[in-house]
């Protein structure tokens, strides 16, 4: 076990006394100021709070696409602060699945190719990649749309493809920033159903930022962030 | 693993309007670049193949060209028997006494007059210069008012076809043949018989230049020194090759400078064009880049991918540019020389030049893509993801 794998295996995410400051002109903006958060393996956590409270900032730190000003962020047993840029990228490709508000599919790739994309960073053969991508598409119910391009899909379908892309590498943690923020009620329900499925049946730890109380109600735990501090 | 090339191909196709514009831009630059180089190449061939290292051209001391030179026949004969002058199979010195006059003829198509060198030679000339070949008709008959015409002149000047009559110095000369001279500038001349021509142009009893075949090129220096040292003859000897290079020297330099200047200016323009296109392409895809990086693609693979996309675009433009330039191969153009007569030469689009053109395109694509790609790869992921 390497030195960076420090946390208890049953803790998926551990945020310890984390500060995140931004420097704007001469002003220092304290977005997160000594924040602590533990997310056990297999938990579905909803992160709520007013706009500008630092939800996305916290999620980005957990996902390893941003670095804390101070404090420790340990995810899937790895302390992210100790990783170099390249190591962090490799770590993300194995441990994190991203679900974005606006899906962020690659427009020139079809559904299957979009799902296959993160597998290009794995040692799998082309056939294995195709098979796994197809399986993921099947699980989200879009096997018959594998050759469709994002522009030919509805918003709800696009988000389902994005979820397939997020889970295809079998990551430890799924991070979702307002995954239903751009969807109608019906599609939002489908997406939340899927996320619940991945949490319950595949044991995925999920950290989801949302403004929608109905979405938050699907989670095990709801935490509220206000001015960079967790209030419950 | 890097992003697959098909991703770039599809992105180029998806933005086909921008792509086509950039491709045409690069194609035009490459076409112009290759064309200018092929012109310079053709010009160089015309110059460097004129004259032989083995030959020396003897002219009056201080003259810049044979037009302003005069060597008395007695002196010419004296020089010809120098031991450093080679001898032919018949034992006679390989020395060609020649007279030249400039005549003007209308150009085909435009009717604008152009200067042509009309040269009177003895039969020895064909032994001294062994690259002259009559390719159509026959050679002139000694003593008659007959001429043979260089094949480049035949292409470009009207009224010099076989069978036609040219009026030069109030005499009518009949065209009896066409000759080639391995692309050299002799192909831009008209040749006739010395004995018919010298009296016709009033230059009896001497030569304007005496071209001699040396026993070997290394004796030129001593040959020149000795004949210069002889106060009776008042002549100088130059390497025939050097002589023709000097004649067209300033024109060649100007042409090559022009080619370099145009290529550099256009190249810079094209690089900025490619860069601008790539900046537009990259900034449209900022969020996509953020997504790819979040998924775990490295900075380098993003950089590589965008540079590849730019290079790919440039290669297509380069190939198109080469195809545009290809028909220029063999096109004949002409320029004046310091001797005031026309030097015609053919554009030479060689495989080597096409490779240079393609490499130039790749370079443009690489340089044009590098900066925007660098910017894209350097941006923090969180900022890239926030972009629309
Ligand atoms: N790169 C940055 N530079 C400066 N300030 C930033 C930067 N990123 C975020 N901020 C600031 O940090 C604060 C928290 O931003 P964050 O995006 O985390 O909020 P949020 O809770 O996700 O809000 P929303 O619900 O609107 O998405 C905001 O005041 C924001 O302006
Ligand atoms: Mg946010």
Q: Does residue A147 belong to any structural domain of this protein?
A: yes
Q: Is B262 near chain A, with CB under 8 Å?
A: no
Determine the distance separating the centroid of ligand 2 and the alpha carbon of A157, expressed in angstroms: 22
**CATH number of the domain enclosing A122:** 3.40.50.300
Q: Is B28 near chain A, with CB under 8 Å?
A: no
Instruction: Give the tokens for residue B257.
Output: 């400078």
Residues with CB under 6 A from ligand 1: A 22, 24, 29, 31, 49, 51-57
Residue from the list A108, A118, A165 with its beta carbon closest to the beta carbon of B14 = A108
B382/A118 touch (CB, cutoff 8 Å), yes or no: no
Question: pLDDT value at position B157?
Answer: 87
Q: Is B297 near chain A, with CB under 8 Å?
A: yes
Which of A22, A23, A65, A181 is the pocket-test mutation for ligand 1 (most atoms within 8 Å of CB)? A22
Using the predicted structure, report yes or no on whether residue A34 has a pLDDT greater than 60: yes
Question: pLDDT value at position B44?
Answer: 73
B130/A3: higher pLDDT = B130
List CB contacts (< 8 A) between A89 and chain B.
293, 296-299
SS3 B100: strand
Residue from the list A85, A108, A117 with its beta carbon closest to the beta carbon of B295 = A117
Q: Residue A111 is part of which domain span?
A: 41-69+83-230
Q: Does residue A33 belong to any structural domain of this protein?
A: no
Based on the structure, what is the number of domains in chain A?
A: 1
Question: pLDDT value at position A2?
Answer: 46
Which residue from B296, B288, B377, B386 is spatially nearest to A83, judged by alpha carbons? Answer: B296
List CB contacts (< 8 A) between A59 and chain B.
none
Residues of A with CB under 8 A from a CB of B: 60, 63, 65-66, 85-86, 89-94, 98, 100, 104, 106-109, 117-118, 120-121, 165
Q: Is B89 near chain A, with CB under 8 Å?
A: no
Residue nearest to ligand 1 atom 27, measured at CA: A51
Please report the atom of ligand 1 found closest to the CA of residue B383. 1
SS3 B64: coil
- Provide the terminal-to-terminal Cα distance of chain A, rounded to the nearest Å: 34
Question: pLDDT value at position B340?
Answer: 47
Q: Does residue A32 belong to any structural domain of this protein?
A: no
- Provide the terminal-to-terminal Cα distance of chain B, rounded to the nearest Å: 27
Which pairing describes strands B133-137 and B71-72: parallel, antiparallel, or unpaired? unpaired
pLDDT > 90: percent of chain B:
36
- Which residues have a Cβ under 8 Å from the Cβ of B264 and sit 6 or more positions away? none
Q: Does residue A151 belong to any structural domain of this protein?
A: yes
Please state whether the predicted TM-score (pTM) of the whole model is above 0.80: no
Q: Is B231 near chain A, with CB under 8 Å?
A: no
Between CA B146 and CA B139 the distance in angstroms is 8
Q: Does residue A74 belong to any structural domain of this protein?
A: no
List CB contacts (< 8 A) between A92 and chain B.
294-296
Determine the distance separating the centroid of ligand 2 and the alpha carbon of A98, expressed in angstroms: 14
Determine the distance separating the centroid of ligand 2 and the alpha carbon of A170, expressed in angstroms: 25
Between CA A97 and CA A85 the distance in angstroms is 18
Determine the distance separating the centroid of ligand 2 and the alpha carbon of A202, expressed in angstroms: 27
Q: Does residue A34 belong to any structural domain of this protein?
A: no
Please provide residue B209's backbone torsions phi and psi, each rounded to the nearest 5 degrees: -145, 150
B297/A89 touch (CB, cutoff 8 Å), yes or no: yes
A98/B288 touch (CB, cutoff 8 Å), yes or no: no
A87-145 pLDDT, tens digit per residue, is 999 999 999 999 999 999 999 999 999 999 999 999 999 999 999 999 999 999 999 99
A133-168 pLDDT, tens digit per residue, is 999 999 999 999 999 999 999 999 999 999 999 999
Segments in chain B below pLDDT 70: 1, 47-49, 247-252, 255-256, 334-344, 388
Question: pLDDT value at position A3?
Answer: 43
Other beta carbons within 10 angstroms of residue B381's beta carbon come to 22
Q: Does residue A27 belong to any structural domain of this protein?
A: no
Between CA A55 and CA A57 the distance in angstroms is 5
Between CA B183 and CA B152 the distance in angstroms is 9
Residue from the list B7, B295, B385 with its beta carbon closest to the beta carbon of A109 = B7
SS in 3 state form for B238-297?
EEHHHHHHHHCHHHHHHHHHHHHHHHHHHHHHHHHHHHHHHHHHHHHCHHHHHHHHHHCC
B35-74 pLDDT, tens digit per residue, is 888 887 777 777 666 777 889 999 998 887 888 889 999 9
Question: pLDDT value at position B183?
Answer: 77
H-helix or E-strand containing B212?
strand B209-213
Q: Does residue A25 belong to any structural domain of this protein?
A: no
pLDDT > 70: percent of chain A:
96
């Amino acid at each position: 076990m390497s030195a960076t794998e420090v946390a208890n295996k049953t803790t998926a995410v551990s945020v310890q006394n984390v500060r995140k400051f931004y420097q704007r002109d001469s002003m220092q903006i304290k977005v997160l100021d000594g924040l602590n958060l533990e997310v056990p393996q297999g938990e579905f956590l909803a992160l709520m709070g007013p706009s500008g409270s630092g939800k996305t900032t916290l999620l980005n730190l957990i996902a390893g696409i941003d670095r804390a000003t101070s404090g420790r962020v340990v995810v899937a047993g790895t302390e992210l602060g100790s990783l170099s840029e390249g190591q962090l990228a490799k770590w993300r490709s194995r441990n994190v699945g991203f679900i974005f508000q606006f899906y962020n599919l690659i427009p020139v790739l079809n559904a299957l190719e979009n799902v296959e994309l993160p597998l290009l960073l794995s040692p799998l053969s082309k056939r294995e990649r195709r098979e796994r991508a197809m399986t993921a598409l099947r699980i989200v119910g879009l096997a018959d749309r594998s050759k469709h391009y994002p522009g030919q899909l509805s918003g709800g379908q696009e988000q389902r493809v994005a979820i397939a892309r997020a889970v295809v590498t079998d990551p430890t943690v799924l991070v979702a920033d307002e995954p239903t923020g751009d969807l109608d009620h019906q599609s939002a329900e489908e997406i939340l159903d899927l996320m619940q499925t991945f949490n319950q049946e595949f044991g995925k730890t999920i950290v989801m930022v949302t403004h929608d109380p109905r979405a938050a109600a699907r989670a095990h735990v709801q935490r509220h962030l206000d001015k960079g501090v967790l209030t419950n | 693993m890097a992003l697959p090339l098909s991703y770039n191909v599809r992105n180029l196709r998806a933005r086909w309007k921008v792509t086509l514009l950039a491709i045409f831009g690069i194609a035009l630059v490459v076409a112009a670049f290759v064309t200018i180089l092929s012109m310079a190449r053709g010009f160089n061939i015309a110059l460097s193949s004129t004259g032989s290292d083995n030959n020396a051209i003897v002219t009056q001391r201080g003259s810049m060209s044979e037009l302003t030179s005069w060597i008395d026949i007695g002196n010419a004969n004296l020089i010809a028997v120098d031991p450093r002058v080679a001898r032919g199979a018949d034992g006679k010195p390989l020395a060609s006494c020649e007279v030249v006059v400039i005549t003007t003829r209308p150009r085909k198509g435009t009717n604008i007059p152009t200067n042509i060198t009309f040269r009177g030679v003895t039969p020895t000339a064909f032994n001294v210069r062994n690259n002259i070949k009559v390719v159509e008709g026959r050679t002139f008959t000694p003593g008659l008012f007959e001429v043979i015409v260089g094949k480049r002149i035949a292409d470009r000047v009207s009224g010099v076809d076989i069978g036609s009559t040219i009026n030069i110095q109030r005499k009518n000369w009949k065209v009896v043949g066409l000759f080639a001279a391995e692309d050299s500038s002799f192909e831009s001349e008209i040749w006739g018989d010395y004995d018919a021509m010298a009296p016709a142009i009033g230059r009896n009893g001497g030569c304007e230049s005496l071209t001699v075949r040396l026993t070997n090129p290394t004796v030129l220096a001593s040959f020149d020194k000795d004949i210069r040292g002889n106060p009776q003859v008042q002549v100088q000897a130059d390497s025939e090759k050097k002589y023709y290079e000097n004649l067209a020297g300033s024109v060649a330099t100007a042409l090559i400078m022009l080619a370099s200047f145009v290529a550099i200016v256009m190249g810079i323009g094209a690089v900025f064009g490619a860069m601008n296109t790539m900046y537009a392409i990259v900034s449209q895809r900022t969020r996509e880049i953020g997504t790819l990086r979040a998924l775990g693609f490295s900075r380098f693979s993003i950089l590589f991918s965008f540079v590849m996309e730019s290079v790919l675009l440039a290669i297509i433009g380069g190939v198109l540019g080469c195809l545009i330039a290809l028909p220029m191969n063999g096109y004949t153009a002409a320029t004046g020389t310091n001797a005031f007569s026309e030097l015609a030469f053919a554009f030479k689009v060689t495989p080597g030049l096409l490779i240079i053109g393609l490499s130039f395109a790749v370079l443009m694509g690489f340089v044009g893509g590098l900066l925007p790609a660098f910017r894209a790869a350097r941006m923090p992921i969180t900022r890239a993801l926030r972009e629309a």
